[in-house]
């Protein structure tokens, strides 16, 4: 078992009733690697991401994260999920808690850190994502971009080994996308292992080590962005890229 493989997905299948969403996905992510998953809506990319921390239970296949086989019935999912950060399209901040409490709550309840320690870490992380003096703001008082950065800080507070981004900028107003992408880019530069489902081709091109193009529940093409985005081999990839880039 190679210790540098953080995520190892083998022959992953997922059906919702008759709808066969994932049709045999094989994907490995190395430590420190930034992998962007692109593809048309309905291609199964979000489902794939949600299978990595078992928010969706795969129908068949294996998912191994950090050497733990999540698809094994004996695996402690809660323990493993604490090592996998996730950022959602709709932010999903806890609306009844302040920004600081959002970042503290799992540190306290899952990692059992003391209140003081959790608050110090949370305060530093909020500063790191560019939110100073917002500790006591409630999510409703923050802009979408600010909320998403709190959500990133909340995930980082668990010291995750890998971060999953599920269309993290898709719900944002155009002028707020940049501030979130900037935080994601600096995370990538610090060596975080990242699996990013995105429609931001500029981000994929500039930050990803590898781009995975999905369509119809399978991986159609993958490789460095210089290849997949700039010089795609497959016809489906080309069709998708031209539809995305030409407007």
Task: Name the token pair of 140.
Answer: 């409703």
217 interacts with another protein by CB under 8 A: no
Closer to another protein by CB, 88 or 213: give it: 88
Q: 3-state DSSP call for residue 192?
A: coil
Residues 221-240 contacting another protein, CB under 8 A = none
Question: Least distance (Å) from another protein to the CB of residue 151?
Answer: 8
Contact 147, 139 (CB under 8 A): yes
112 interacts with another protein by CB under 8 A: no
CA dihedral angle for residue 43, residue 45, residue 46, residue 52, rounded to 10 degrees: 140
Closer to another protein by CB, 46 or 237: give it: 46
- Cα–Cα distance between 6 and 28 in angstroms, integer? 8
- Cα–Cα distance between 164 and 73 in angstroms, integer? 23
96 interacts with another protein by CB under 8 A: yes
Question: Least distance (Å) from another protein to the CB of residue 238?
Answer: 34
- Cα–Cα distance between 82 and 85 in angstroms, integer? 7
Closer to another protein by CB, 151 or 181: give it: 151
Residues 131-170 contacting another protein, CB under 8 A = 151, 154-155, 158
Query: Which segment (94-102, 122-130, 167-175, 199-207) binds another protein by CB under 8 A?
Result: 94-102
Query: Which segment (75-83, 121-129, 142-150, 217-225) binds another protein by CB under 8 A?
Result: 75-83
Q: How far is CA 226 from the centre of its chain?
A: 22
85 interacts with another protein by CB under 8 A: yes
- Cα–Cα distance between 61 and 10 in angstroms, integer? 6
- Cα–Cα distance between 246 and 33 in angstroms, integer? 29
Question: Least distance (Å) from another protein to the CB of residue 185?
Answer: 22
Question: Least distance (Å) from another protein to the CB of residue 131?
Answer: 18
Detail the DSSP E strand segments found in the chain.
5-16, 19-30, 34-38, 60-65, 68-69, 84-87, 162-166, 193-197, 210-215, 218-223
95 interacts with another protein by CB under 8 A: yes
Question: Least distance (Å) from another protein to the CB of residue 49?
Answer: 11
Cα atoms found within 13 Å of the Cα of residue 74, Cβ hemisphere only: 1
94 interacts with another protein by CB under 8 A: yes
Q: Which residues bind another protein (CB under 8 A)?
A: 53, 55, 78-79, 81-86, 88, 90, 92-96, 105-106, 109-110, 151, 154-155, 158
């Amino acid at each position: 078992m190679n210790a540098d493989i953080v995520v190892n997905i083998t022959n992953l299948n997922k059906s919702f009733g008759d709808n066969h969403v994932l049709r045999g996905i094989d994907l490995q992510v190395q430590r420190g690697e930034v992998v962007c998953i692109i593809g048309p809506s309905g291609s199964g990319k979000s489902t794939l991401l949600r299978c990595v921390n078992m928010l969706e239970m795969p129908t068949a296949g294996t998912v191994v994260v950090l050497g733990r086989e999540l698809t094994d019935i004996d695996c402690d999912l809660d323990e493993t999920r604490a090592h996998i950060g996730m950022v959602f399209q709709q932010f999903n901040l806890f609306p009844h808690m302040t920004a600081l409490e959002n970042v503290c709550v799992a540190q306290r309840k899952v990692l059992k850190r003391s209140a003081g320690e959790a608050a110090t870490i949370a305060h530093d992380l909020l500063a790191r994502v560019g939110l100073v003096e917002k500790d006591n703001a409630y999510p409703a008082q923050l802009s979408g971009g600010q909320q998403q950065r709190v959500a990133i800080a909340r995930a980082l507070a668990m010291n995750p080994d890998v971060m999953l981004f599920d269309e993290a900028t898709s719900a944002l107003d155009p002028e707020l996308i940049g501030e979130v992408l900037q935080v994601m880019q600096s995370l990538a530069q610090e060596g975080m292992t990242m699996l990013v489902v995105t429609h931001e081709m500029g981000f994929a091109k500039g930050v990803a080590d590898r781009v995975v193009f999905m369509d119809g529940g399978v991986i159609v093409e993958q490789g460095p962005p210089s290849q997949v985005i700039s010089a795609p081999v497959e016809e489906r990839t080309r069709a998708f890229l031209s539809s995305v880039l030409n407007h």
